[in-house]
């Protein structure tokens, strides 16, 4: 089986390095960073942290070098999905392309360029330490499910390979539950951290702010319900759990880190995604719309 | 000439003191000794839309100032309680005028003494460069109305004095329509600016921020209506007009969060949310804005 990871940042590297442990899997990586690609080709792709792994991965910045692949795993930041898949689509003419990205709308973007798409949501996390070397911070599950006409059998093959490689993955008929659970969690907490500068725990201990978080969660749940999506867990409970001192009280949301570094955020695919799906179903989402506009305003302020 | 005391010399207080110093005997009540010393030594310089230096007398103790006919309480909202406390028992023959943003400044001052009270809101703006130098930026008007034991004629006399000094001023029989227009405008624009880091520029009337600004204004209008106030100006139109001026104003709440200072959010957004609560008007977006700015203040520490 040949699998290509498209976007070999922290999360993409976790998949690539672990899958490369399997004798029956050949792993390729497409990434925009030449130093990262060179390091991977010279010394392998190294993970350290909660797992110590070195994977033999063939990396390239040139999509034309990619051979035909059975599976793609797209792990770019969501705003780069379109560019990444339009460059690499030829490699998946007979294959399946899975997304393990944040947010809403990635499957639809992929489906504009390739025939067979797999929906995915992943919870492991890490960060790039240096070219070719990724810190693996958190282990976690991945859930895959068919998008459109993709057969469940193909989804199972990918999930099986990930699980055997050390990235536990499930294949389910409807993967929207975990996806929306994660999106609602992120959309209801990340931008609040980004707008205020507060960590997750400090957001949750302010009653007025926690009420705003709940208002955002309620809108997300209503949009999910209008599509017949059954969440696999209550985002409210996950939010309270994460606020505990021993869990993620001091965690700075990735969007806050983006704002502090003046990098474009994923708000279009989180709150913006909830707003778009809400409009399609006639579900009002005024708070998500407000938060979306405010974060877009923050991004616009960097052009001043 | 008329004796005027300006209590509090931030940007607005400094502008008023300097301009009024050209047509009245102005003294300034300040908190810091070095501020008083700088004013007594250097006078108060105005740059920007005007260029002059005004002689003013300054002190930190009200007892050291000549008895005024008019006291303008010009401190920032956050200092209002402290400044009002220091007026207790002083200046008994004066009329006192408030000029703070938001709602409720009149009540704070009224609780400290029995002076006749005027209420006012100002749209002018400037930048305070030092204790004795203020830049005059926006030459928009100050609106004045009666509040307690004063008449429209009293408001007109003060408006005429301020206009004679070179600033713009207008008197109204009832200030609340103007005050509420400004309250809704400030709660919306200042809050959005403080959270986004944007000056008041065309983003506030375009996509995607414009619809949020419009929805915030609509919540404010519903609150005004429930409070029985007919607005003088449509805050959305005020917003659009201000973004077309070419010069993008930096609202004080934005400057405050950038300098990690306490903002006037409790007096502005808080006042609007409290009024909405009192009148049972749903204002989910203003509640969100208020909670976010309060949280941003909390993030300083």
Q: What is the pLDDT of residues B119-175, one digit of tens each?
A: 999 989 899 999 999 999 989 999 999 999 999 999 999 999 999 999 999 999 999
The chain A residue lying nearest B193, using CA atoms, is: A297
pLDDT at B88 over 90: yes
- Note whether B208 contacts A: Cβ–Cβ < 8 A: yes
Split at pLDDT 50, 70, 90, the class of B14 is: very high
Question: What's the rounded mean pLDDT across residues B38-52?
Answer: 97
pLDDT at residue B78, as a whole number: 85
Q: How many CA atoms lie within 13 A of B109 on its CB side?
A: 31
Split at pLDDT 50, 70, 90, the class of B248 is: confident
pLDDT at residue A115, as a whole number: 97
pLDDT at residue A246, as a whole number: 87
Burial group, residue B246, by CB count within 10 angstroms (0-12, 13-18, 19+): exposed
Task: Name which of A33-37, B176-180, B246-250, B268-272 the model is least confident about.
Answer: B246-250
Split at pLDDT 50, 70, 90, the class of A250 is: confident
Cis peptide before B69 (omega within 30 of 0): no
Question: What's the rounded mean pLDDT across residues B25-32?
Answer: 96
Split at pLDDT 50, 70, 90, the class of A159 is: very high
Q: Which of A195, A210, A295, A299 to mutate to test the interface with B (most CBs of B within 10 A)?
A: A195
Residues of chain B with C-beta less than 8 angstroms from the C-beta of A197: 296, 299
Beta strands in A201-283 (DSSP E): none
pLDDT at A92 over 80: yes
The answer to whether B208 contacts A296, with C-beta atoms less than 8 Å apart, is yes
Split at pLDDT 50, 70, 90, the class of A253 is: confident
Between A and B, how many CB-CB pairs are < 8 A?
86
The answer to whether A202 contacts B299, with C-beta atoms less than 8 Å apart, is yes
Tell me the pTM: 0.88
Render pLDDT for B225-236 as a digit per residue (tens, 0 to 9): 999 999 999 999
The chain B residue lying nearest A287, using CA atoms, is: B285
pLDDT at B301 over 90: no
Nearest CB to B292 within list A196, A202, A292: A196
Question: What's the rounded mean pLDDT across residues A213-241?
Answer: 97
Split at pLDDT 50, 70, 90, the class of B75 is: very high
Question: What tokens does A289 get?
Answer: 């719309």
CB burial string A80-108: b at 16+ within 10 A, e below: bbeebbebbbebbeebbbbbbbbbbbbbe
User: Distance (Å) from the C-alpha of residue A196 to the closest C-alpha of chain B?
Assistant: 4
Nearest CB to A290 within list B201, B212, B294: B212
The answer to whether B295 contacts A287, with C-beta atoms less than 8 Å apart, is no
- Note whether B130 contacts A: Cβ–Cβ < 8 A: no
Kindly report the number of other CB atoms within 10 A of residue B149's CB atom.
13
In whole numbers, what is the pLDDT of chain A averaged over residues? 96
The chain B residue lying nearest A206, using CA atoms, is: B295
Render pLDDT for A8-27 as a digit per residue (tens, 0 to 9): 999 999 999 999 999 999 99
Split at pLDDT 50, 70, 90, the class of A182 is: very high
Render pLDDT for A93-146 as a digit per residue (tens, 0 to 9): 999 999 999 999 999 999 999 999 999 999 998 889 999 999 998 899 999 999
Question: What tokens does B103 get?
Answer: 């709602």
The answer to whether A215 contacts B215, with C-beta atoms less than 8 Å apart, is no
What does the alpha-carbon distance between residue A117 and residue A99 come to, in Å, rounded to a whole number?
8
What order of strands is seen across the sheet that includes strand A169-171? Answer: A58-60, A26-30, A2-6, A71-74, A96-99, A116-122, A142-147, A169-171
Question: How would you classify the pairing of strands B70-73 and B3-7?
Answer: parallel
pLDDT at residue B108, as a whole number: 95
What does the alpha-carbon distance between residue A110 and residue B157 come to, in Å, rounded to a whole number?
70
Split at pLDDT 50, 70, 90, the class of B246 is: confident
**How many residues can be counted in chain B?**
301
What order of strands is seen across the sheet that includes strand B3-7? Answer: B57-59, B25-29, B3-7, B70-73, B95-98, B117-122, B142-148, B169-171
Kindly report the number of other CB atoms within 10 A of residue B301's CB atom.
5
Residue for token pair 């999905």: A81
pLDDT at A230 over 80: yes
Residues of chain A with C-beta less than 8 angstroms from the C-beta of B257: none
pLDDT at A304 over 80: no
Render pLDDT for B251-291 as a digit per residue (tens, 0 to 9): 989 999 999 999 999 999 999 999 999 999 999 999 999 99
Render pLDDT for A262-282 as a digit per residue (tens, 0 to 9): 999 999 999 999 999 999 999
Render pLDDT for B175-216 as a digit per residue (tens, 0 to 9): 999 999 999 999 999 999 999 999 999 999 999 999 999 999
The answer to whether A294 contacts B292, with C-beta atoms less than 8 Å apart, is yes
The answer to whether A289 contacts B212, with C-beta atoms less than 8 Å apart, is yes
The answer to whether A208 contacts B290, with C-beta atoms less than 8 Å apart, is yes
- Note whether B35 contacts A: Cβ–Cβ < 8 A: no
């Amino acid at each position: 089986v040949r699998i290509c990871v498209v976007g070999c940042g922290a999360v993409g590297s976790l998949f690539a390095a672990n899958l490369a442990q399997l004798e029956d899997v050949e792993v390729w990586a497409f990434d925009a960073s030449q130093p990262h690609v060179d390091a991977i080709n010279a010394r392998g792709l190294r993970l350290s942290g909660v797992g110590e792994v070195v994977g033999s991965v063939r990396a390239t910045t040139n999509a034309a070098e990619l051979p035909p692949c059975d599976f793609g795993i797209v792990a770019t930041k969501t705003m780069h999905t379109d560019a990444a898949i339009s460059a690499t689509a030829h490699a998946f003419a007979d294959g399946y392309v899975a997304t393990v990205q944040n947010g809403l709308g990635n499957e639809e973007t992929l489906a504009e360029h390739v025939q067979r798409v797999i929906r995915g949501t992943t919870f492991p996390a890490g960060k790039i330490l240096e070219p070719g070397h990724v810190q693996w911070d958190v282990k976690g599950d991945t859930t895959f499910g068919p998008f459109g006409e993709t057969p469940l059998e193909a989804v199972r093959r990918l999930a099986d390979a990930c699980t055997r490689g050390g990235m536990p993955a499930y294949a389910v008929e409807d993967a929207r539950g975990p996806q929306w659970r994660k999106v609602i969690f992120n959309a209801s907490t990340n931008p609040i951290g980004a707008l205020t500068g507060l960590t997750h725990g400090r957001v949750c201990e302010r009653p007025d702010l926690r009420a705003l978080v709940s208002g955002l969660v309620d809108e997300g749940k209503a949009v999910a319900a209008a599509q017949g999506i059954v969440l696999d867990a209550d985002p409210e409970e996950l939010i309270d759990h994460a606020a505990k001192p021993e869990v993620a009280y001091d965690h700075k949301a990735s969007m806050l880190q983006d704002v502090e570094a003046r990098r474009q955020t994923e708000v279009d695919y989180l709150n913006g995604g909830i707003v778009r799906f809400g409009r399609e179903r006639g579900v009002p989402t005024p708070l998500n719309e407000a938060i979306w506009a405010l974060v877009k305003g923050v991004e616009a302020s960097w052009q001043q | 000439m008329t004796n005027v005391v300006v209590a509090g010399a931030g940007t607005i207080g400094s502008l008023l003191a300097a301009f009024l110093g050209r047509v009245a005997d102005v003294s300034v009540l300040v908190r810091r000794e070095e501020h008083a010393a700088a004013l007594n030594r250097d006078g108060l310089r105005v740059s920007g839309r005007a260029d002059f230096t005004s002689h003013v007398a300054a002190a930190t103790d009200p007892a050291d100032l000549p008895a005024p006919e008019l006291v303008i309480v010009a401190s920032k909202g956050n200092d209002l309680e402290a400044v009002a406390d220091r007026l207790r028992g002083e200046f008994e023959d004066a009329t006192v005028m408030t000029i703070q943003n938001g709602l409720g400044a009149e009540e704070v001052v009224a609780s400290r003494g029995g002076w006749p009270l005027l209420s006012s809101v100002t749209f002018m703006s400037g930048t305070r460069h030092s204790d004795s130098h203020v830049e005059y930026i926006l030459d928009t008007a100050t609106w004045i109305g009666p509040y307690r034991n004063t008449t429209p004629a009293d408001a007109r006399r003060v408006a005429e004095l301020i206009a004679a000094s070179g600033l713009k001023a207008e008197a109204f029989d009832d200030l609340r329509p103007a005050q509420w227009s400004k309250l809704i405008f400030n709660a919306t624009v200042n809050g959005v600016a403080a959270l986004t880091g944007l000056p008041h520029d065309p983003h506030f009337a375009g996509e995607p921020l414009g619809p949020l600004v419009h929805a915030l204004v609509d919540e404010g209008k519903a609150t005004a209506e429930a409070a029985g106030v007919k607005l003088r100006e449509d805050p959305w139109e005020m917003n659009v007009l201000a973004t077309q001026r070419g010069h993008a104003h930096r609202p004080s709440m934005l400057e405050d969060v950038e300098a990690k200072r306490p903002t006037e959010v409790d007096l502005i957004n808080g006042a609007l949310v409290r009024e909405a609560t009192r009148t049972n008007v749903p204002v989910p977006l203003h509640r969100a804005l208020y909670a976010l700015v309060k949280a941003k203040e909390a993030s300083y520490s």
